[in-house]
Amino acid sequence: MFRKVPVNMPKRDELKRYLRQPIVDVPDTTGEYSNYAERNEKKMEKDMPLLGIFPEYIYQSKKYRNCDYAEEIKMAMDKKGMIREHLNKFRKEPLDKDWYPVSVFCEKCNTDATKVKEHNGYNVTYTCKCGHEDTFDIREKGIIKLLWRVDWPMRWYYEKVDFESGGKDHFAAGGSFDTCKDIVKFVYNYEPPSAARYEWIKIKGGQQFSSSAGVATTVSDVMEIYEPEIIRWLFAGSRPATEFSIAFDEEVIKLYEDFDHVERVYYGEDKVTDKEKKKQSRIYELSVVDKPRHRIPYQPSFRHLTNVVQMYDMNIDKAVAYYEKDLEDDFDKERLRLRAMCAKNWIEKYAPDNYKFKIQKNIPVDLVIDKKIKKIFSKLAVRLKEKTWSDKDLHGEFYVLCESEGVKHKDFFKAAYKILINKEQGPKLASFILMLGERAIELFREASR
């Protein structure tokens, strides 16, 4: 039932006309889908196969409108007194004696602003605030549905559910599960399913959930930043009743590093105790979308990728080409491309400013460089051409050059970042310069003039 107009939907005044109507009858005012319910369903459904999840979807609106639950609805209405007494145990204000465990959608105004007056077998008589009154057979008209705490146990019985997980709010004392497990026993003579409670999933650095605003972090949002295996790993590596966070801030980098460690443990490249290896290996097996490969896949560092994609002005093809010599097959290339796209999305949408940069084509015109530091850049431009440097050796060379000219190290680093990205700090300088190659050399030559 459509209870509130989300603030993020267009044509909100038009949507107000559909309040209290079935969600499947509410239009999607963006024009993307046939109705509001489908808009929310299809977004999730299209992402599930990418995570290696292939559920069978049961659409409750279709089941109710096809009158598939007619027998189960009659059973609940026949035992409405028993259900009312049970629910009243957990309520501050008891339900009225004329209460029914159903909602009816008026055939004239299509809202649930109705009241059931009586039922006789399969026949239900109702009145509506709009003035309409009618009696109908629930086997012939699918305009009736059970209320939530009766609908849930009804579907356990109807679908023969033997396991049901749910958020911790459903498992609170007197909550949905407590009431439903008794209703399914006494109304439908069916044993309640085994159950597992799970904690809330927090969002760090992303769009926080707001039901009133119609805002939620979706699977699509998460898949823009994380590979499917890492999303699965976040769940497989956490106990169901343990709260965990899906990060969109700089912790994204750590989560990629942690997943890569688990992958290396599985393939024996990172050594841990036998007990830890068994645990992490099982988590990894549950994390991969298909079966684990016979060899460890290529692991491009997410942190390094955020620098590479920016170095190439967010051009994914050029970023992938940068790693070409390290790739063994198409699987490695596909993983690299996906991870590079995730790095690009993270930089553009969520990364803190200190992770963002743009390579300068020329040094800033207002940049004033001390003469001694200019000499260092002149020497550095020459040194970089003399041999193939490692990060460690080049980092050491910075200090040698600074000491030779009597320049403070921090002043040199600050000037180098201003020349390269017009910021006072940035990625680790030695590795960054080696990534830039000739582009860095040209900028240092320009700065030394």
428 and 408 inside one domain: yes
The Cα 157–Cα 184 span in angstroms is: 7
215 and 177 inside one domain: no
The Cα 395–Cα 205 span in angstroms is: 33
307 and 260 inside one domain: no
The Cα 88–Cα 99 span in angstroms is: 11
Report if residue 188 sits inside a domain.
yes
185 and 72 inside one domain: yes
Structure-block tokens of residue 21:
């109507």
Contact status, residue 333 vs residue 327, Cβ threshold 8 Å: yes
Q: pLDDT for 68-126, tens place per residue?
A: 999 999 999 999 999 999 999 888 899 999 999 999 999 999 999 999 999 999 999 99
Report if residue 361 sits inside a domain.
no
Q: Which element (helix H / strand E) includes 244?
A: strand 244-247
185 and 224 inside one domain: no
Mean pLDDT by 10 residues, the chain (449 residues): 82 89 90 87 90 94 97 98 93 93 97 96 97 98 96 97 90 87 95 89 72 68 96 91 89 97 98 97 96 95 96 96 94 97 97 94 90 95 95 96 95 96 94 94 93
The Cα 119–Cα 137 span in angstroms is: 10
Q: Which residues contact 68 (CB under 8 A, 6 or more apart)?
A: none
Cβ-count burial of 395 within 10 angstroms (0-12 exposed, 13-18 middle, 19+ buried)? middle
Which amino acid makes up residue 123?
A: N
Of 55, 71, 88, the one marking the end of a domain is: 55
Q: Which element (helix H / strand E) includes 399?
A: helix 391-405
Q: Tell me the backbone φ, ψ of residue 263, rounded to 5 degrees.
A: -65, -40
- For residue 40, CA distances in Å to 2, 77, 335 come to 13, 31, 29
187 and 212 inside one domain: no
The Cα 337–Cα 330 span in angstroms is: 10
44 and 80 inside one domain: no
Report if residue 418 sits inside a domain.
yes
Return the beta strands (E) in 121-162 as ranges: 123-128, 133-137, 144-146
Q: Tell me the backbone φ, ψ of residue 136, rounded to 5 degrees.
A: -140, 160
67 and 32 inside one domain: no
- For residue 37, CA distances in Å to 2, 311, 355 come to 10, 42, 39
69 and 170 inside one domain: yes
Going by C-alpha positions, the residue among 87, 129, 82, 81 that lies closest to residue 108 is 129
68 and 48 inside one domain: no
Residue 353 DSSP symbol: G
Q: How many CA atoms within 13 Å lie on the side-chain side of 155?
A: 14
Report if residue 87 sits inside a domain.
yes
Structure-block tokens of residue 366:
């207002």
Query: What CATH number has the domain bearing residue 82?
Result: 3.40.50.620
User: Where do we find the tokens 């509506």?
Assistant: 128
Contact status, residue 186 vs residue 82, Cβ threshold 8 Å: yes
Which amino acid makes up residue 53?
A: I
The domain in which residue 140 lies consists of: 62-197
Q: Which residues contact 155 (CB under 8 A, 6 or more apart)?
A: 161
Q: Quick one: residue 412, left, alpha or beta (phi over 0 = left, psi -120 to 50 = alpha)?
A: alpha
Query: What CATH number has the domain bearing residue 443?
Result: 1.10.10.350
The Cα 388–Cα 156 span in angstroms is: 67
Structure-block tokens of residue 436:
């830039």
177 and 245 inside one domain: no
Contact status, residue 157 vs residue 131, Cβ threshold 8 Å: no
Report if residue 277 sits inside a domain.
yes
Q: Which residues contact 74 (CB under 8 A, 6 or more apart)?
A: 119, 121, 122, 138
CB atoms within 10 A of CB 328: 10
Report if residue 7 sits inside a domain.
no
Bridge-based pairing state of the strands 102-104 and 144-146: antiparallel
Q: What is the pLDDT of residue 88?
A: 92
Going by C-alpha positions, the residue among 186, 187, 64, 73 that lies closest to residue 119 is 73
Going by C-alpha positions, the residue among 304, 438, 423, 406 that lies closest to residue 358 is 423
Report if residue 221 sits inside a domain.
yes
- Tally of domains within the chain: 5
Report if residue 232 sits inside a domain.
yes
CB atoms within 10 A of CB 308: 20
157 and 208 inside one domain: no
Contact status, residue 446 vs residue 384, Cβ threshold 8 Å: no
What 3-state DSSP class applies to 198? Answer: strand
Helices (H) and strands (E) in the chain, counts: 19, 9
Of 35, 55, 75, the one marking the end of a domain is: 55
- For residue 35, CA distances in Å to 25, 28, 30, 66 come to 6, 5, 10, 19
Q: Which element (helix H / strand E) includes 197?
A: strand 194-198
